Chain A
Amino acid sequence: MVNEKDFSSGLFLFLLGLFLAFLSIRYSIWSKFGPDEGFFPLAVAMIIIGLSLIIIVKSFFIAKPQEKGKTSDDKKRKIITTLRVSIYVILMLLYGFMLEKIGFLITSAVLIFPILKYVEKQSWKITLLVGFGSIITSYILFVHFLGVPLPRGFIGIW
């Protein structure tokens, strides 16, 4: 039985290694003075390819511990955890794209409140308290203490 986690991660890293090797050979590997800019990345890519191949091969021989049959509860839990992690990631990426356009205050609120209320399932009281507390603390810390100019966005506040 294949160890799926090792097989899939090994395969991903193997492809990544191949991609890195392909990119590296587009640079000069060796000149008359010695190794050039493509030498080190190519060597590292070869190591990645070799090691990931070993992981792929090993995944066929080292069986993973026997799992009990997955119940519908397990599947549901898996979907929920994937959703929780995905919401965190999407909100953080949104933060990166929106920060300069909309400004610190609203973007931070868009990040913090959904996390607290819908991902971490806190009451409105705690959500507002911790949410505003975090935003104000980080504003004081970065703007007043560290002098970081946080973007104000089109609204013109913070």
Chain B
Amino acid sequence: MIENLLMGFKISLSFQNIIYCFIGCTLGTIIGVLPGLGPSATIAMLLTLTYKLDLTSAIIMLAGIYYGASYGGTITSVLINIPGEASTVVTCIDGYQMALQGKAGKALGIAAFGSFIAGTLGTIGLSLLAPPLSKLALMFGPAEYSALMILGLTLVIYLGSGSPLKAMLMGALGLAIGTIGMDPATAVERFTFGSQSLIEGVNMAVLAMGLFGIGEVLFMAESSGARSSRDSIKYSSKLRELLPDRNDWKISIKPICRGTALGFLLGILPGGGAVISSFASYAVEKKVSKHPERFGKGAIEGVAGPESANNSAVNGAFIPLLTLGIPSNVVMALLIGAFMLHGVTPGPFIVKEHPQVFWGVITSMYVGNVILLILNVPLIRFFVKIIEVPFALLSPLIVLICVIGAYSLNNNPVDIVIMVIFGVMGYLMRKFHYEPAPFMLGFVLGGMLEKSIRQSLVISQGSPMIFFTRPISMVLMAATILMVVSPILTASLKQYRLGSALEKVRKAASEQDD
């Protein structure tokens, strides 16, 4: 283990990888600062650019974008009450209140230090847990994989922010798009309509660029004419004023530790991730606080806890990706795309077959956290300036990078057309309140899920009971069923209680009349 970590550090501390980690972290912070453009759109846009890079450097850079974005999102949440990232929405509540009270520096400081501590502890957790879990993953057969993927999709659907019904529908649509191309078992062409470009299936990078990059640009194009000016808050970027004092540390250290643990655990769960963990941490802090009335009025622990949670969740999310090859959220699904562009399938064998990638990526996160701390504390003033760049100037550049990126994958202009089609689809999804994330996850998991379900059914000679008789898959399927059934049961129970209460009121009223 120590030998492997040393090997990883040797790789991640090479000049080239430090530069890529720095680029990723800086880019991540910038896009985190820019409201609207998230890590999914950026990673999707840059997927094709990583094609020429060495795989380890590519993943190090893309991972840097991911965790850099959660650092960057905090800056806008605190200073202008606009979350740059979904995972920093909750930081607005107390962070902005602190800024109004003239404590913006402290809010940003504790967020940066909390994120650093959480990111570092999360990376240690990842280093310790990933290798044994990848050994455990070798015990998984097709039935267990199927059950895990179904659970993952269900979790993404139920823990998402919109309507679960619509999310489920998008997940299914993603699975359907994933079936386009040659059937892996029988080599029959499916839904290609005679197009040569579709025989290999829809390219993941093309789909991601369309759905997230172009979809976002089109959605922003609608509103860019009607944007209001933003009020910003005066703050000092003097280092001393950014450093939390002893009292701040005393209040914040426990929330940071709790947030780290909670975020890491929720990050591991498929569908968990940074957004839910930040909300969960805020709820926990409010619950355990002796003065819950301070929350919402500038409580520093309301910033420290969620900021730590969203950063350690990022580390946790790497565990299912690196050990099982299953993405727990949409960014991880895009990282699978980067692995596949280089001909590597992430999963339990990655530790043995590509140890330099596995340990290089893990140790780069230690380096990345140091880079982010260095970037975030003194360069806050610079990042705040970025907020002022209008989207109208960014969108043509995003469009150009996406169209050339799509073309460069196979030197095929049809890919541009396919990307535009998915771009329009992404735009319509946002307009009609359908989430694109379950669609993307469904698409990524589609091929794997179909393969493992078919293998399981061949093994069981067509009996679906295979999913309910093997111990691991049985537990996973039970969890899935529980998740689907519990909201329906709760709603029915509420309706029943409401009905009986109404009945009682009616009875009482008729008795009074009598």
Give the B-binding residues of A (Cβ under 8 A).
Answer: 5-6, 9, 13, 16, 20, 23, 27-28, 30, 33-37, 39-41, 44-45, 47-48, 51-52, 54-55, 58, 77, 80-81, 84-85, 88-89, 92-93, 95-97, 99-100, 104, 108, 111-112, 115-116, 119-122, 126, 130-131, 134-135, 137-138, 141-142, 145-150
The interface bits of chain B over 1-41 (1 if a CB of A lies within 8 angstroms of the residue's CB, else 0) are 00000000000000000000000000000000000000000
Contact of B186 among A5, A36, A108 (CB under 8 A): A36
Q: Output the nearest chain B residue to A129 by Cβ-Cβ distance.
A: B393
Say yes or no: A111-B393 contact (C-beta < 8 A), given A52-B169, A84-B221, A85-B427.
no
**Which A residues touch B457, using CB under 8 A?**
34-35
How far is the CB of A111 from the nearest CB of chain B, in Å?
7
How far is the CB of A148 from the nearest CB of chain B, in Å?
4
Additional 10 contacts, C-beta under 8 A, given A48-B172, A51-B168 = A9-B434, A30-B462, A35-B454, A84-B221, A88-B218, A92-B420, A96-B413, A115-B399, A130-B393, A148-B408
In the complex, the answer to whether A122 meets B400 with C-beta atoms within 8 Å is no
Beta-carbon contacts under 8 Å, B419-442 to A: 420, 423-424, 427-428, 432-434
In the complex, the answer to whether B221 meets A119 with C-beta atoms within 8 Å is yes
How far is the CB of A71 from the nearest CB of chain B, in Å?
15
**Which A residues touch B338, using CB under 8 A?**
none
Contact of A108 among B168, B175, B400 (CB under 8 A): B400
Contact of A146 among B49, B393, B403 (CB under 8 A): B49
In the complex, the answer to whether A41 meets B165 with C-beta atoms within 8 Å is no
In the complex, the answer to whether A115 meets B395 with C-beta atoms within 8 Å is yes
In the complex, the answer to whether A111 meets B221 with C-beta atoms within 8 Å is no
The interface bits of chain B over 450-482 (1 if a CB of A lies within 8 angstroms of the residue's CB, else 0) are 100110011001100000000000000000000
**Which A residues touch B433, using CB under 8 A?**
5
Contact of A47 among B172, B397, B461 (CB under 8 A): B172
**Which A residues touch B458, using CB under 8 A?**
33-35
Beta-carbon contacts under 8 Å, B34-66 to A: 49, 51-52
In the complex, the answer to whether A34 meets B454 with C-beta atoms within 8 Å is yes
Contact of B462 among A34, A58, A81, A100 (CB under 8 A): A34
Say yes or no: A95-B403 contact (C-beta < 8 A), given A5-B432, A9-B432, A131-B396.
yes
Any chain A CB within 8 A of the CB of B317? Answer: no
A141 vs B221: C-alpha distance in the bound complex, in angstroms?
Answer: 25
User: 13 A–B contact pairs at CB < 8 A?
Assistant: A27-B190, A37-B186, A37-B190, A40-B453, A44-B175, A55-B166, A77-B226, A81-B225, A92-B420, A92-B423, A121-B392, A138-B397, A149-B411
Main secondary structure of the interface of B (DSSP, over half): helix
A64 vs B189: C-alpha distance in the bound complex, in angstroms?
Answer: 43
Give the A-binding residues of B (Cβ under 8 A).
Answer: 49, 51-52, 165-166, 168-169, 172-173, 175-176, 179, 183, 185-186, 188, 190-191, 214, 217-218, 221-226, 392-393, 395-397, 399-401, 403-404, 407-408, 411, 413-414, 416-417, 420, 423-424, 427-428, 432-434, 450, 453-454, 457-458, 461-462
In the complex, the answer to whether A80 meets B403 with C-beta atoms within 8 Å is no
Task: Point out which of A111, A116, A134 has the most chain B C-beta atoms below 10 A from its C-beta.
Answer: A134
A41 vs B450: C-alpha distance in the bound complex, in angstroms?
Answer: 9
A148 vs B401: C-alpha distance in the bound complex, in angstroms?
Answer: 13
Task: Point out which of B172, B217, B403, B450 has the most chain A C-beta atoms below 10 A from its C-beta.
Answer: B172
**Which B residues touch A119, using CB under 8 A?**
221
Task: Point out which of A13, A44, A122 has the most chain B C-beta atoms below 10 A from its C-beta.
Answer: A44
Q: Which 6 A-B pairs rank lowest in CB-CB distance, beginning with the nearest?
A: A96-B416, A120-B392, A34-B458, A37-B183, A148-B408, A40-B450
A35 vs B142: C-alpha distance in the bound complex, in angstroms?
Answer: 14
In the complex, the answer to whether A99 meets B396 with C-beta atoms within 8 Å is no
How far is the CB of A16 from the nearest CB of chain B, in Å?
8
Main secondary structure of the interface of A (DSSP, over half): helix
A77 vs B222: C-alpha distance in the bound complex, in angstroms?
Answer: 9
Q: Output the nearest chain A residue to B214 by Cβ-Cβ distance.
A: A92
In the complex, the answer to whether B169 meets A51 with C-beta atoms within 8 Å is yes
Task: Point out which of B226, B400, B408 has the most chain A C-beta atoms below 10 A from its C-beta.
Answer: B400
Contact of A111 among B191, B400, B411 (CB under 8 A): B400
**Which A residues touch B450, using CB under 8 A?**
40
In the complex, the answer to whether B221 meets A96 with C-beta atoms within 8 Å is no
A145 vs B50: C-alpha distance in the bound complex, in angstroms?
Answer: 11
Contact of B404 among A93, A120, A142 (CB under 8 A): A142
Q: Output the nearest chain A residue to B407 by Cβ-Cβ distance.
A: A99
In the complex, the answer to whether B408 meets A51 with C-beta atoms within 8 Å is no
Task: Point out which of A89, A111, A116 has the most chain B C-beta atoms below 10 A from its C-beta.
Answer: A89
A141 vs B404: C-alpha distance in the bound complex, in angstroms?
Answer: 10
**Which A residues touch B218, using CB under 8 A?**
85, 88-89
In the complex, the answer to whether A37 meets B414 with C-beta atoms within 8 Å is no
How far is the CB of B366 from the nearest CB of chain A, in Å?
28
How far is the CB of A19 from the nearest CB of chain B, in Å?
10
In the complex, the answer to whether A85 meets B172 with C-beta atoms within 8 Å is no
A104 vs B400: C-alpha distance in the bound complex, in angstroms?
Answer: 11
In the complex, the answer to whether A112 meets B49 with C-beta atoms within 8 Å is no
**Which B residues touch A115, using CB under 8 A?**
395-396, 399
How far is the CB of A31 from the nearest CB of chain B, in Å?
9
How far is the CB of B11 from the nearest CB of chain A, in Å?
22
In the complex, the answer to whether B400 meets A135 with C-beta atoms within 8 Å is yes
**Which B residues touch A13, using CB under 8 A?**
169, 173
How far is the CB of B476 from the nearest CB of chain A, in Å?
19
In the complex, the answer to whether B434 meets A120 with C-beta atoms within 8 Å is no
**Which B residues touch A135, using CB under 8 A?**
400
In the complex, the answer to whether B399 meets A45 with C-beta atoms within 8 Å is no
How far is the CB of A139 from the nearest CB of chain B, in Å?
9
A46 vs B147: C-alpha distance in the bound complex, in angstroms?
Answer: 20
How far is the CB of B134 from the nearest CB of chain A, in Å?
28
In the complex, the answer to whether B427 meets A96 with C-beta atoms within 8 Å is no
A35 vs B226: C-alpha distance in the bound complex, in angstroms?
Answer: 53
In the complex, the answer to whether B399 meets A92 with C-beta atoms within 8 Å is yes
In the complex, the answer to whether B420 meets A96 with C-beta atoms within 8 Å is yes
In the complex, the answer to whether B413 meets A51 with C-beta atoms within 8 Å is no
In the complex, the answer to whether B454 meets A39 with C-beta atoms within 8 Å is yes
How far is the CB of A86 from the nearest CB of chain B, in Å?
10
A145 vs B428: C-alpha distance in the bound complex, in angstroms?
Answer: 35
Contact of B416 among A35, A40, A95 (CB under 8 A): A95
